[in-house]
Amino acid sequence: MDKKVSFRDIITEVRVKSWLKNVLVCFPIVFSLELVNLKKVLSTIVLVAAFCLVSSAVYVFNDLNDIEADRKHETKKYRPIASGRIIIPVAVIMMVCFIIAGVALSLSVNLKAMLIVLAYIVINILYSKWLKHTELVDCFCIASGFVLRVMAGGTIVSEGVSNWLFLTVVSMSLFMAFGKRKGEIESRNGNETRNVLKHYDKTFLNGIVFMCAGLTMVFYSLWTISHETKLVYTVPIVLFIVIRYLMLVFKGKSEGDPTNVILSDRLLLIAAGICAVVIIIILYEKILVSNLPILSHMFCVSK
């Protein structure tokens, strides 16, 4: 128990890179045009922090649950818990603290957000213990994490999550979940280190990944058309992102993990950045234009 835990090991264990997924919490406030409401922006930031904490707790729980299997894995054996750099009692304390803090933060936003966070925790515990061994169910559990993040963000805005946004996120989440399984199979060249991979066929995964990618584009396109803005002009950029993501998954890059795929590819990062900027400009064009005289006046006074 006298062994010191390094900050680097903690950062590695809680998967800081994977916190990128929690940006999904921001989708509703951006697309509801309420990004100018400071109170709601602050609530969204708090909710993002809550998901960062509980998702980290889930990673710790998963590593505790899979400790023996991870020690036999080619790369996972170097994880802090599997390697013994973080001992089990310390990992349990970390997990409990993260859960309590995350749930408390979500409750400070609103009750519905807290209930969604609790649902996220329960689903992931069930996934880690049992559901990840059942084909199809495992991918729907992974996808539910993305959907719940967006639904939690929707509790902050006035109109919640629109039907088209919900369908877009569901199809996109399944696309990434099945893409993860596809990437795992491709990267391991048939070496089935995850039991559920035995139940997946490459041909089936090829078809389902393309189907979900297609549905994502259809729902997103219909959503942009119904948005009464020029958002439809972002469809080609999103299409490029989806195709690029598909290419990387089929090459076996980063075992299909969404965060690793995005962060490891410069072209994908640039495209995502451009898409985000264009979306903000299109959605908030009127607000930006209406505030130009004020900004111009402030600039002249400062000079």
Q: What is the pLDDT of residue 208?
A: 96
The secondary structure of residue 252, as a DSSP letter, is T
DSSP annotation string for 173-210: HHHHHHHHHHHHHHHHTT---SGGGGG--HHHHHHHHH
pLDDT of 148 higher than 50: yes
pLDDT of 287 higher than 80: no
At 106-127, the pLDDT tens digits run 999 999 999 999 999 999 999 9
Residue 110: partners with Cβ closer than 8 Å, 6 or more residues away: 43, 155, 156
CA separation, residue 131 to residues 149, 169, 179, 193 (Å): 20, 22, 18, 17
C-alpha span between 209 and 177 (Å, rounded):
9
Q: What is the pLDDT of residue 3?
A: 59
Residue 15: partners with Cβ closer than 8 Å, 6 or more residues away: 55, 56, 59
Q: Are 248 and 268 in contact (CB under 8 A)?
A: yes
Query: Which pTM was predicted?
Result: 0.90
Q: Are 24 and 146 in contact (CB under 8 A)?
A: yes
At 185-195, the pLDDT tens digits run 877 644 545 78
pLDDT of 40 higher than 60: yes
In whole numbers, what is the pLDDT of the chain averaged over residues? 88
Across 81-95, 188-202, 220-234, 242-256, least confident range: 188-202
Q: Which residue has the higher pLDDT, 79 or 232?
A: 232
